Structure 1
């Protein structure tokens, strides 16, 4: 799940758009991974807990608060120093 969270975080920070529908579409197209709306929402909630994205704004998607490098550091702080983007 951490690899999926990292891939989702990379997509959100690179596109500057945080919505479950975008994650579903891009994870499928770019990584060949199908995720449910509920899973995409859970990934965004985890990013929110890490301070990477703002709260749910329903129809407009979440505001992206961090750049990619800062987001990776935030995830490392939560999941441990042994985790990295190469995982």
Structure 2
């Protein structure tokens, strides 16, 4: 079951972004996650596209150890490589 879920998440995370989104919202939040047998603070970076008719779609989520300029650059570059313009 875990393998199936992992494949579905990977397919979603790498899907092409062909639709146009005139608005893009970027945000980050701090989460506590269990990693290396301890609960640690982790940053979740999120991109939401808003279409002309106001529909919102989560375009991507990326986990990082902290919120940094380089992390945002890498995240946005990945969205652009998938077709976001």
TM-score by length of 1: 0.29
More helix, by proportion: 1
In the superposition, the TM-score normalised over structure 2's length comes to 0.29
More strand by percentage: 2
